[in-house]
Structure 1
Amino acid sequence: MNVTFIRHGHGEHLLDYPNQLNCLHPGLTELGKSQVIALRKQVNFSPEDTILVSPTKRTIETACLLAPTSNLMFSPLVGPRMFPQNPEFVPFVCDQIYSKEELSHQYTDIKMIELGLDCWEESINQMDACRFKILAEQLLEWCRQQSGNTFVISHDGTITNYRMLLGEQGLSKSDFLGEAGQYTMRNV
């Protein structure tokens, strides 16, 4: 299975950085939308691909501009996660995910991945590394059982945490994808 990580486009919370980081549910800016539209020319989805989307407004908007909603699936296991991880850091309000109830009312045509885990109430943003590894590996195993490739539309910190989990070493913030960036790991 190949995994392609896609970072959301420029978000509203970055317009007056860092003063807007406590803005709840920021969406994409016009620049962010144009970045994602440009990315469409580089990304090809097939009907059997799995597209996991972080349950935040900016990642959902990114996903809806990129892919058919019939392929999209929400998972809190690809929601915002700090990098480097430090349990003493307080998460920003902009990184709060939508609840299952909010998602089911706003996005009726997008599925939610449950995997028998109650991880909607427990944010991966401050989850200890051991628990995150267990849950993330379960999600990746589920992805391997699907027929196509996996795409993850998420956030810099989350993507970097997954890349490390999948075997990359020595990553730092300089390895972040940037706005509407993509990165593919093959045969994971």
Structure 2
Amino acid sequence: MYVIPAASNTSFKNNRLHPGLTAQGKEQIKALCKLIQVKPDDTIVVSPTKRTLETVELLTSSARGRVMISPLVGPRMFPQDSSYTPLGCDQIYSRAEVGMLYPDIQVIDVGLNDWEESINQMPARHFTLLAESLLAWCRKQKGHIFMVSHDGTITNYRVLLGEYELTRNDFLGEAGYCTIRHV
């Protein structure tokens, strides 16, 4: 499994709803395309946010893997703290918006049927159960799995997959990626 955060440089200062990639973010993804290669048998699981979906469009411009949208890879804080207020830029598209904006992309329906129940502030036990169901689904797919998500979400999944004592210093950064061999 490859995990890739969406390119940064979106306007977090403005806390805008559904920010897209900037020119710098698009350049970061173009550079990343030289390091990884998505093949037709690969599956890309993407967060239902504008910047992650734009990231996938750039990643798959030359070769098309199977793209799937899942709220289970939507934004999630790390470390988790229920007293923090989620940012507007981390609001996911609704299922109806995904259907209108991305009608050709399938939605993965494992575990979380109510998209209003965001994983962003979900208690750890509930998130773990849902994330494990997504990982079980991933294990059944052919080819490589690419998860295009957000730094906090990726770090939460890395912990579930056996990495311990991670901090915000372990975030992958702007358009970075890591490879996890056994999921």
TM-score > 0.5 by shorter chain = yes
**One-letter code of the match for 1:12?**
T
Match of 2:106 in 1: 111
**Stretches of 4+ aligned residues off by more than 3 angstroms:** none
3-state SS of paired residue (1:12): coil
CA offset digits 1:6-58 (Å, max 9, x no partner)? 011124224xxxx31x2100000100000001100111112221100000000
Query: What is the Cα deviation at residue 116 of structure 1?
Result: 5.5
* Matched-pair contact (CA < 8 Å) for 1:70–1:109: no
2:33 aligned with 1:35, yes or no? no
Of 47, 55, 59, the match for 1:62:
55
Percent of aligned positions that are identical: 56
Query: What is the Cα deviation at residue 159 of structure 1?
Result: 0.3
Match of 1:171 in 2: 166
* Matched-pair contact (CA < 8 Å) for 1:9–1:180: yes
3-state SS of paired residue (1:127): coil
* Matched-pair contact (CA < 8 Å) for 2:42–2:65: no
Match of 2:10 in 1: 12
Structure 1 residues 11, 69: CA separation in 2 closer, same or farther (over 3 Å shift)?
A: farther
Distance in 2, Cα, partners of 1:121 & 1:69: 30
3-state SS of paired residue (2:148): strand
Of 71, 75, 84, the match for 1:80:
75
How many residues align? The count is: 181
2:136 aligned with 1:141, yes or no? yes
3-state SS of paired residue (1:52): strand
Match of 1:184 in 2: 179
Query: What is the Cα deviation at residue 117 of structure 1?
Result: 3.4
2:124 aligned with 1:129, yes or no? yes
2:46 aligned with 1:48, yes or no? no
* Matched-pair contact (CA < 8 Å) for 2:44–2:68: yes
2:151 aligned with 1:161, yes or no? no
**One-letter code of the match for 2:4?**
I
Distance in 1, Cα, partners of 2:116 & 2:64: 24
Superposition RMSD on alpha carbons, in Å? Answer: 1.2
**One-letter code of the match for 2:31?**
A
CA offset digits 1:56-80 (Å, max 9, x no partner)? 0000000100025551110000000
Structure 2: gaps of 5 or more residues:
none
* Matched-pair contact (CA < 8 Å) for 1:11–1:27: no
Distance in 2, Cα, partners of 1:4 & 1:95: 22
Deviation larger for 131-140 or 45-54: 45-54
2:82 aligned with 1:92, yes or no? no
Structure 1: gaps of 5 or more residues:
none
3-state SS of paired residue (1:72): strand
* Matched-pair contact (CA < 8 Å) for 1:69–1:109: no
3-state SS of paired residue (1:33): helix
